[in-house]
Amino acid sequence: MAADYLEVLNEQQRAAVEHDGKSLLILAGAGSGKTRVITTKIAYLISQKNVNPFSILAVTFTKKAAAEMKERAQLLEERSRFCQIRTFHSWGAYFLRKYPAFAGVAPDFTVYDDEDMVTLLMKAVPSLKKKDASHYVKKISLAKDYCILPDSDELFTVDSDSRFQEIYTAYQERLRQTGNVDFGDLILLPYIVLKENEKIRRQVHDRYKVIMVDEYQDSNVAQFNLLKMLSGSDENTGTYVCVVGDDDQSIYKFRGAEVRNILNFQKDFEGTDLIRLETNYRSTQEILDCADSVVKNNHQRIGKTLVSYRGKGMQPALVFLPGQDDETEFCSELISQSVEKGGSYSDWAILYRTNAQSLGFETEFLHRKIPYEVVGSLKFYEREEIKDALSWISFIANPRDEIAFRRIINKPVRGIGPGTQDKILSAAIGKNIAETLCSVEMSKKARSGAEAFKAVYDELLALIPQPEETEQSNASLAQSAMGVFDDEKEAETAEGQKEDGSDGFRLSSFVEAVIKKTGLEDFHAAQDEIGGTQKVLNLQELVNSAVLYECNRKGLLEFLDHISLDRTLETQEELSGEKQDRVTLITIHNTKGLEFPKVIITGMENEIFPRMPDNGEELEEERRLFYVGITRAKNELYFTSCSVRRLYGRTNAMSPSVFLKELDENKIRILGQKPRSFSSGAAGGDPVAEKYSVGTRVYHDDWGYGQIVRGAYSETSDDDEREWVISVSFDTGGIKKFLPKYQGSSLIVCSDD
């Protein structure tokens, strides 16, 4: 049996399974079979090395991954069922149930989620509003991820707000009084107990002789500290530690993941051996070459080179397109032609940096009847924040809309409860609800909220020119009834509306005003720093979608009709029964662990992907995210980049992503008209821009070492006079701008070591 499951491994995999030493770092490249290695190693230790399965602890980050690991290990060795194969947080809960008194929690504790934490903090600090409480809860969770307590000298690194220590302290005291824990405690408290109690620490060291961690690049500081305590690496307990991960796939810094954990593992665990898994079983060599040409520009990495088990295939294609509508049309044509030739919709995945980018593809696919699935998020028009904004827009268009009114009247909270709403709607049957709003009897608080709502309604209504109820309107109505249609007259009327009312403004200006003046932007942004940011981006994409319509009543109704049609098509597609064979629409963050035969990575422009980072570390994380996207593709890979894109309600000129310039032009096909500003490995062929390109490490006489995080030409009408301007993020802190053409003697490019 043992020979069978070892013989299917390649040389690197088998070396990792059979490794016998103090500790091991398995650097597992994308698609290199890491799950097979870690599960085989568990079975091998039990069956061949006679390790007691009760002494093996294997942890990972998701329930799905833990369940898969457990199932596959048991298929190889039945006794693997006695191992502890858990998520980090699951093991933390197990430990706290075993030692509740030492952790200061109740034996029957419950785990508070984010919403529970906000409620508890508002009880602990009654002066806090929900928006502020949500902000501080996020900071408290981050502090716990870094093992920082309220009395720590490092607390300012999480939040320099002078109130934070007081608020964090009050929260902790209230939490301990309840006897319950939050998610951060599931890691932090076991670490503290093990650190402070030698007897318990020895019991744990006696129990676990093998500790394995999967996806180690996703671990945070608290999890690293807990691993050190569990293994007793500083006490020479003899515990074998094996971690598996890929430094090039560390993409969750916003969740607290710390790439330095895997980069420094060999230093932190003395005597560690390193084994690289570099045979990729997923992608063709051309795709892997693209991934390597990009990620090798990162300085924070250990380094490896993936080799395809499958050999050569089709060259990836870089496609330059005029605008985002051309982008969605190109992708639709590419997919349709593939299906016509016998392929499947499910072969294809459209990848993008943010959820908001899905709207254009959803609209295009619906009209072309291309079945699709949005993975990891709701379809665009189903998202809470989009429904809220559209309800406001619908209510402006039709102030008798009861459903829209009920959705928006208390968002944000205005103190108008269901009973008062019923009174208002009863009085407003068949009438303008907004005009009837303040005429019914209600509490002082509700009246104040109603008056505020009415003021916002009036302000927004004034932004939409209203048609005059004149003989001209009646004449138009009569013409419609008789079937008369005069193109010239209609054009004159439309032009007159534009001159009289809209001043040439697009409807996007109105939609943006709705989002801001109603408080929806602040309301959704306050939910949390990550989810809130995404919701604001989605709202901004709704603004972008309205830029095609005039800012008048006709444009408003056309916009709502367009959305209603899309929703109808969406419903028809869902009822058609075609639920299996469909295109995948997905953010790159959500593709981790997935693979697709054919991948299109869209929106490859600066400010979209990468987002313009504040420092070199953020740029490197964006580059790792691009690497993850590339390595999802098995057979075919495409990149799309647009010359212009609608952003913030306006049409903006875009520049190709700096990452595209890192691709080797000899290993890709370039389609479409290559922008003048683009040249692989350089900016416009300018030798200064090539030397001082984004991502380059430099040394300055006064500021020390740093990394170029931005590069752009100065604004001027004469191309020959443009200067290459760079921004450098220095290791000592701060970002400085330079003109390298004139400052080259003091700004030295560091050579690759």
Tokens of 702: 């006064």
Whether 324 sits among the annotated catalytic residues: the reply is no
The one catalytic residue among 12, 34, 357, 573: 34
User: CB of 552 within 8 A of CB of 465?
Assistant: yes
The one catalytic residue among 632, 646, 661, 710: 632
Amino acid at 499: E
Looking only at the bridges linking them, the beta strands covering 678-679 and 111-112 are unpaired
Whether 116 sits among the annotated catalytic residues: the reply is no
Query: Do the annotations mark residue 32 as ligand-binding?
Result: yes
Query: Do the annotations mark residue 476 as ligand-binding?
Result: no
The one catalytic residue among 214, 248, 347, 636: 214
Whole-Å CA distances, 129 to 414, 468, 566, 716: 14, 44, 38, 48
Whole-Å CA distances, 511 to 396, 455, 550: 11, 17, 11
Whether 123 sits among the annotated catalytic residues: the reply is no
- Compute the distance between CA of residue 257 and CA of residue 230 in angstroms, rounded to an integer: 19
- Compute the distance between CA of residue 77 and CA of residue 74 in angstroms, rounded to an integer: 5
Whether 624 sits among the annotated catalytic residues: the reply is no
- Compute the distance between CA of residue 728 and CA of residue 735 in angstroms, rounded to an integer: 5
For residue 447, list its beta bridge partners.
Answer: none
The rounded Cα 586 to chain-centroid distance in angstroms is 10
Nearest to 274 by CA among 283, 262, 290, 256: 262
CB crowding 701-734: b at 16 or more within 10 Å, else e: eebeebbbbbbbbeeeeeeeebbbbbbbbbeeee
Question: Is-cis flag, bond preceding 126, omega within 30?
Answer: no
CB crowding 462-473: b at 16 or more within 10 Å, else e: ebbbeeeeeeee
Nearest to 606 by CA among 687, 506, 713: 713
- Compute the distance between CA of residue 254 and CA of residue 29 in angstroms, rounded to an integer: 22
Question: Rounded to the nearest 5 degrees, what angle is found at the Cα of 353, between the Cα atoms of 551 and 62?
Answer: 130
8-state DSSP, 656: B
Phi-psi region of 638 (alpha: psi -120 to 50; beta: other; left: phi over 0): beta
The rounded Cα 272 to chain-centroid distance in angstroms is 33
Whether 34 sits among the annotated catalytic residues: the reply is yes
Whether 215 sits among the annotated catalytic residues: the reply is yes
Query: Do the annotations mark residue 33 as ligand-binding?
Result: yes
Burial class, 246, CB count within 10 angstroms (exposed 0-12 / middle 13-18 / buried 19+): buried
- Compute the distance between CA of residue 416 and CA of residue 406 in angstroms, rounded to an integer: 10
User: CB of 454 within 8 A of CB of 437?
Assistant: yes
The one catalytic residue among 12, 35, 39, 172: 35
Please spell the DSSP secondary structure of 538-551, one letter per residue: HHHHHHHHTTTSBS
- Compute the distance between CA of residue 314 and CA of residue 637 in angstroms, rounded to an integer: 8
- Compute the distance between CA of residue 716 and CA of residue 687 in angstroms, rounded to an integer: 19
Phi, psi of 419 (to 5 degrees): -60, -45
Tokens of 319: 């496609």
Amino acid at 168: Y
Query: Do the annotations mark residue 35 as ligand-binding?
Result: yes
H or E segment to which residue 23 belongs: strand 23-28
Burial class, 558, CB count within 10 angstroms (exposed 0-12 / middle 13-18 / buried 19+): middle
The one catalytic residue among 77, 182, 215, 636: 215
The one catalytic residue among 249, 285, 354, 591: 249
- Compute the distance between CA of residue 381 and CA of residue 363 in angstroms, rounded to an integer: 10
Q: Which residues are catalytic?
A: 34-35, 214-215, 249, 632
List the binding residues: 28-35
List the binding residues for ATP: 28-35
